[in-house]
A and B are shown apart, each in its own frame.
Chain A
Amino acid sequence: MQTSFRRPSILPGFWPAFTYTVIYLSLIVLIPLSAIFFKTATSSWDHIWTVVMSPQVVASYRLSFGASIAAGLISVAVGFLVAWVLVRYEFPGKALVDALVDLPFALPTAVAGIALTSLYAENGWIGQYLAPLGIKVAFTPLGVIVALTFIGLPFVIRSVQPVLADADQELEEAASSLGATRWQVFTRVIFPLIRPALLTGFALAFARALGEYGSVIFIAGNLPMKTEITPLLIVTKLEQYDYAGATAIAAVLLITSFILLLGINVLQRRTRKFMEAA
């Protein structure tokens, strides 16, 4: 086994490429993020602890993580279906639908938030039909999930689509001819193939949702303890000149999402390795 830092490779230029990666990541990611921790460190532990553990802030973690995970899961389910339709079927206007998928990327999220709020408010186009059923969307946690699903959807579709397109349909045909039912073909052949892509899509959608601010503040209602998302509390703290408090909450958000994303990455690697071994 190789013990040195650099494994031999037939590709030249490891050091320039590696140096570039480290410098780039430092400038764009590490330095700004470490500033958060330095700023947090300007405050006493007592202050930090009371801020990040105050009931209002804890309630916001619950909403932010809960809604982001929910939105990620919805995106996975619905996104997979959309990707499936886009890859496996031919229909008129397919290119148009395909282009529509990316729209949530391009739209300023505030615009999305305002549009969704207008639609889902009790007197909105959709909200007026939901209200008699007792379903309130705008200004409830449900509204937060709707907004986060909107912005998260393209991540799953775009992660799954290429994998699905590459998947060899002969595998499915072989499975069928060997007597597998349609359900078995899906669970045993298709799903294992796209699982890593689904995980990537989920991770991206989840991470995006967690940091999302623009669209959510319009639809959330922003009531303390009920519908305040964590990024909003960070902004509110900043507006009260509590920089240390704001960065402390940001640090909690960062560390937690880093652990979650790391977990998803590890899971992904495992499935990939498992696939390669099989």
Chain B
Amino acid sequence: MKHTLRIVWALTAAAVMFAANPSSIKLLNVSYDPTRELYQDINAAFAKQWKAKTGADVTISQSHGGSGKQARAVIDGLQADIVTLALSYDIDSIAERSRALPANWQSRLPNNSTPYTSTIVFLVRKGNPKHIKDWEDLVKPGISVITPNPKSSGGARWAYLAAWGYALKKNNNDEAKAQDFVTRLYKNVPVLDSGARGSTTTFAQRGIGDVLLSWENEAYLALNELGKDKVEVVVPTISILAEPPVAVVDKYANKHGNGEVAKAYLEFLYTEEGQEIGAKNYYRPRLEKVAAKYADRFPKLQLFTIDELFGGWQKAQKKHFDDGGVFDKIYTPGK
């Protein structure tokens, strides 16, 4: 008994010493589904840079999941130093509900706190047997479309809004026609996964569906992993400019004494090196120079923003995705 106690004491002391060691910093980055590979690369590069600059080791842990789920985890007390989520609405929710960061968080970093952008593209089977070229082809009868549930997935919300925006532009901003278009689109969806990665698995591993509405980076990742003999990427004529934001969670970062390094981590995303890593992982860079260098990676298409067409996330969320909103009506008969 005495012996066990001694071991417990020794371990505790070791833990305390380890935690107090100033040259070892631990950061937690709570992110959304498809950024696993991006942040693995970023973390390695940043740790190296930080070590060179300050001599301190920094280990960054990553957590991934549906954007809404991740935001809720932070609200419920997951002590994230940094959140990098799929849409600003989710970080707004953290700010509003947990007050762990100020409401004006989005103005603290350049470009609305979105160091890289993305868009929604299509992933189809090799040879494009169903001839899917643009949004219009998705609503044809007999086409099976794979996309996650917009209620739980950030990427799915961008995809939904991209389809809606396409229909608005095609029909002179006729809302009723846009709603009809999106309704027909979701009639072709046989399965709604809860997150983007789940949908990619459904499409790629389980071979279900003719087309996957996907984050651009996720589509190329799937292309590289599955091989060009299995799937191909189709870029529609119009899509949405997806802006996944990043923020320091002040309350937890300060509590851990990580305020400075967390800020530096996010600023690193905006540097040339950070932007290059982003571009290599198929996130569209903000920095002109890097964008020009990797221009051939990112097909040109007409992109609209959520502010232009939907008046921002808060409005879009309320109208389309809240309970009783347009998305629910798609599935409620007779309404």
Residues of chain B with a CB closer than 8 A to A271's CB: none
- Per-position binary interface string of chain A over residues 202-239, scored 1 when its CB falls under 8 Å from any chain B CB and 0 otherwise: 00000000000000010001111100000010011111
Chain B nearest Cβ from A70, distance in angstroms? 21
- In B170-196, the 8 Å CB interface with A consists of 189-194
Q: Does A242 contact B (CB under 8 A)?
A: yes
- In A235-273, the 8 Å CB interface with B consists of 235-242, 245
Q: Does A177 contact B (CB under 8 A)?
A: no
Contact yes or no, B151 A240, CB < 8 A: yes
Q: Does A65 contact B (CB under 8 A)?
A: no
Contact yes or no, A225 B331, CB < 8 A: yes
Name the residue of chain A whose CB is nearest to the CB of B317: A240
The answer, among A51, A117, A224, A239, for a CB contact under 8 Å with B68, is A239
Contact yes or no, B323 A241, CB < 8 A: no
Q: For the complex, what is the distance from the CA of A264 to the CA of B243, rounded to whole Å?
A: 54
Residues of chain B with a CB closer than 8 A to A155's CB: none
Q: Does B320 contact A (CB under 8 A)?
A: no
Contact yes or no, A245 B149, CB < 8 A: no
Contact yes or no, A236 B151, CB < 8 A: yes
The tally of residues in B whose CB lies under 8 Å from a CB in A reads: 29
Contact yes or no, A54 B323, CB < 8 A: yes
Chain A nearest Cβ from B26, distance in angstroms? 27
Contact yes or no, A239 B72, CB < 8 A: yes
Given contacts A121-B206, A121-B208, A236-B149, contact A223 B189 (CB under 8 A): yes
Q: For the complex, what is the distance from the CA of A51 to the CA of B149, rounded to whole Å?
A: 19
The answer, among B75, B149, B330, B333, for a CB contact under 8 Å with A241, is B75
Residues of chain B with a CB closer than 8 A to A245's CB: 323
Contact yes or no, B194 A241, CB < 8 A: no
Q: For the complex, what is the distance from the CA of A115 to the CA of B254, rounded to whole Å?
A: 44
The answer, among A124, A139, A225, for a CB contact under 8 Å with B332, is A225
Contact yes or no, B322 A217, CB < 8 A: no
Contact yes or no, B207 A56, CB < 8 A: no
Q: Which bracket fits the contact residues of A?
A: 20 to 34
Contact yes or no, B331 A224, CB < 8 A: yes
Q: For the complex, what is the distance from the CA of A225 to the CA of B69, rounded to whole Å?
A: 22
Given contacts A221-B192, A224-B331, contact A241 B97 (CB under 8 A): yes
11 additional contacts (CB under 8 A) given A121-B206, A225-B331, A239-B72: A54-B323, A121-B208, A139-B190, A139-B191, A221-B191, A222-B193, A224-B192, A225-B332, A236-B152, A241-B72, A241-B97
25 chain-A/chain-B pairs, Cβ below 8 angstroms? A51-B323, A117-B206, A118-B205, A121-B206, A122-B208, A123-B208, A139-B190, A217-B193, A222-B149, A222-B192, A222-B193, A223-B189, A223-B331, A224-B330, A224-B331, A225-B333, A235-B152, A235-B194, A236-B149, A237-B323, A238-B72, A239-B66, A240-B151, A241-B75, A242-B323
Residues on B facing A (Cβ under 8 Å): 66, 68-69, 72, 75, 93, 97, 149, 151-152, 189-194, 205-208, 321-324, 328, 330-333
